[in-house]
Structure formats: C-alpha cells, structure tokens
Amino acid sequence: MIRLRPSSERGATQTGWLDSRHTFSFNRYLDPAWTSFRSLRVINEDRIAGGGRFDSHPHRDMEILTWILSGALEHEDSTGGRGVLRPGDLQKMSAGTGIFHSEANASPSEPLHLLQIWILPSQRGLKPHYVEKHFPLEERRNRLRLLASPGGRDGSLPVHQSAELWTAVLDEGREVEHPLAADRHAWLQVASGEVELNGILLRAGDGAAASGETALRSRARKTSELLLFDLG
C-alpha cells in the first residue's frame, strides 16, 4: 500500500527570511493524520534567504540529519562541530542528553535550500555527537547511494535507529529499485523533478509512505532527486 503526502497539503512556516514546508506536524502546525511515519518524525523543506539565521537553540533525544540541495549552510554546535555544508553534504547530530546548535545561510545574498530530517532514536540519553560527510554526485547518479544507516554501513553516517536513508539523482527515464523486506516500511521524498513510484506520480515536494510492498521502483519523468527511507 502506498499513501501519498502531496506537497500542497504540507504545513508552512514563513518569516521574512524563512520559507519552511512541513511534511509532518511541527512547531505550531498540527495535522493528526501526519504526525510521523514509523521512526521518521520530521521532514522540513527549508528555503533560507541570504543572511537568514537560526540562532543557537537546544535539542534532545533526536537523530537530526540535514541534506543540502543548493546553497551553503554554516553550522556550529556545542560539541565543537562547525563548518560550511554544500550540496552533496550530509550532517548528522545525535542530540541525546542535549545539544545546542545554530544554523545560518553562509551567503549574505544567495538563497539556501535544504531538507532537515528528524528520526526518533532507539534509546534516550545518548551522548551528543556530530558528524558530516560529502557524497559525490557520481556516487548518486542513476543509482541509490546509502547516506545513513545503523553502524554506518558502506561509508554512510551512523544513526541510532533501525533506519536507512538512501538517495539518488536520476536522469530522465532512468529507474532504480529498492527491495523491501516483509517487516519493513518506506518513505519516498521527491526533492526535485517528477518520479513514478510503482507507477504512481510524485512531483517535487511530494512524499509517499509505503507498507506491504516487496519493492519500490522509482522512475524519473525528468531529471529528479529523491530520498528513500527504509524503516523498521
């Protein structure tokens, strides 16, 4: 069974410098039908104007991943992690017992576009931790590349949950397939382009929850970028 989450039905937070779209309930946006999916708690698509900034703020007991689509993100946190992230860079924070961090558009004029993802950890009270890694486009073009997994398999970043995050950039007409075990579920998020998921059309910003499927076949109608979550 595949259940669509259309981009147009997502929640929104808008300020002078931030345009954020919420796949699941977040902050003041509450949708009882879409509070989470399995351990996946947040997918926020953020567009941050030049000079925009989230001042230092706390998190606890959450696996927080940020995937850069365009622009540059300046990051600093209380573990000592800091740097500038660009497209193809993934950062992961285990908030655990508590972490403070700030995020800002590293450019005073160019926009920043990113996806921020929260995954509920398998246990509370973990030691806070920060890690980042670049995944070259050639590793993601027309094939699925593992970005995050328990234990950091195949050069991915480690997450404290039975969850995997994959990505692919597909040329028009290209297809990737991901097998899904009987006890697993999946979420597909289209970052750009148009993708047919098992024959169902998804456009940029759309998501889909999949349960009871044996495999997920994603075919690009035009050049597209997708994120695929394999969840317990």
Q: State pLDDT tens for residues 196-215.
A: 999 999 999 999 999 999 99
Q: State pLDDT tens for residues 175-196.
A: 999 999 999 999 999 999 999 9
CA nearest to 174, candidates 187, 193, 155: 193
The CA-CA-CA angle for residues 129, 132, 133, to 5°, reads: 150
Mean pLDDT of the residues in the chain: 97
Which residue bears the tokens 């941050």?
A: 48
What does the block give as tokens for 27? 């902050």
Quote the pLDDT of residue 43.
98
Give the model's confidence band at 81: pLDDT under 50 very low, under 70 low, under 90 confident, else very high: confident
Positive or negative torsion for Cα 9, 13, 14, 20: negative
Q: Is the pLDDT of residue 6 over 90?
A: yes
Q: Over the Cα atoms of the chain, what is R_g?
A: 17
Give the model's confidence band at 15: pLDDT under 50 very low, under 70 low, under 90 confident, else very high: very high
Quote the pLDDT of residue 11.
98
What does the block give as tokens for 166? 């994959």
Judge contact between 202 and 170, C-beta under 8 A.
no
Would you give the distance in Å from CA 196 to the centre of its chain? 19
Quote the pLDDT of residue 136.
98
> pTM of the entire structure?
0.96
Rounded CA separation 201/210 (Å)? 14
Q: What is the 3-state secondary structure (H, E, C) of the chain?
A: CEEEECHHHCEEEECCCEEEEECCCECCECCCCCCCECCEEEEEEEEECCCCEEEEEEECCCEEEEEEEECCEEEEECCCCEEEECCCEEEEEECCCCEEEEEEECCCCCCEEEEEEEECCCCCCCCCEEEEEECCHHHCECCCEEEEECCCHHHCEECCCCEEEEEEEECCCCEEEEECCCCCEEEEEEEEEEEEECCEEEECCCEEEEECCCEEEEEEEEEEEEEEEEEC
Q: Are strands 145-149 and 157-158 parallel, antiparallel or unpaired?
A: parallel
